[in-house]
Amino acid sequence: MAESGHVKLEPQWLEVLAPEFEKPYMAELRQFLVAEKKNGKVIYPKGNEYFNALDTTPFDQVKVVILGQDPYHGPGQAHGLCFSVQQGMQLPPSLQNIFKEISDEYPERDIKYPHGNLTGWAEQGILLLNAVLTVERARAASHQGRGWETFTDQVVLMLSERKESLVFMLWGSYAQKKGSVIDTRKHLVLQSPHPSPLSAHRGFFGNNHFRQCNEYLVANGQEPVDWFKLV
């Protein structure tokens, strides 16, 4: 969402979501972001990366959805994909635990992750969607309740209604609540505690979600995800 009000978005997603950009809440969100920048606030990710999850994974390519909450609020981390950080950044604790679970599920691969940029996942059809797409520097959750949640709720609803046989990975109560609109008759919904160090030991570790996801994809005639392919 550029400051001029023009939306630059992957064409398939723009077609699906066009009505949302005409609604009052989106105009209010746009005004809020413009005002924050004019007041000298630093916002992450960069403006051209707000919709990076949608731009990298077009609507017709989505086969897996991972829901996050907010972008990282430290310099150089967020780039519009949930749980992902740009190359060269230290791995956040939740991402370390995600990588640990994958490595435990695929011990035969014996691959070490060199960085935390998950663009390679997004390019394989994994929509890495945060509920809130922007944040102020050093202020976690600072843009919650400004409208992004309404927008991303619509993303989840459109995927549930218009697609078949998707895998939704919902970690933690926040993601599970956001996924309440998903039609479980059409899609596989995998739920567990969040990979945060505060909760990972309560059931994220050992959830076997990554293997379950691939088994479901293969059973439904789709290519499995290579969880070790990053960028």
pLDDT for 7-30, tens place per residue?
689 999 999 999 999 999 999 999
Q: What percent of the chain has pLDDT over 70?
A: 97
Looking at residue 8, what is its pLDDT? Answer: 81
Grade residue 3 by pLDDT with cuts at 50, 70 and 90. very low
Average pLDDT over every residue of 195-214: 98
Average pLDDT over every residue of 40-68: 97
Looking at residue 4, what is its pLDDT? Answer: 35
Q: Is the pLDDT of residue 48 over 60?
A: yes
Pairwise CA distance, residues 109 & 116, whole Å? 18
Q: What percent of the chain has pLDDT over 90?
A: 95
Burial class of residue 15 (count of CB atoms within 10 Å of its CB; 0-12, 13-18, 19+): exposed
| Contact criterion met (CB below 8 Å) for 108 and 115 | no
Q: How far out from the chain centre does Cα 71 lie?
A: 9
What angle is formed at CA 106 by the lines to CA 56 and CA 220, rounded to 5 degrees? 55
Identify the active-site residue in 70, 104, 183, 226. 70
pLDDT tens, residue by residue, 83-141: 999 999 999 999 999 999 999 999 999 999 999 999 999 999 999 999 999 999 999 99
Beta bridge partners of 191: 170
Looking at residue 6, what is its pLDDT? Answer: 55
Q: Is the pLDDT of residue 67 over 80?
A: yes
Model-level pTM?
Answer: 0.96
Looking at residue 7, what is its pLDDT? Answer: 66
Is 110 assigned a catalytic role?
no
| Contact criterion met (CB below 8 Å) for 179 and 131 | no
Nearest Cα to 168, choosing from 144, 185, 151? 185
Q: Is the pLDDT of residue 5 over 80?
A: no
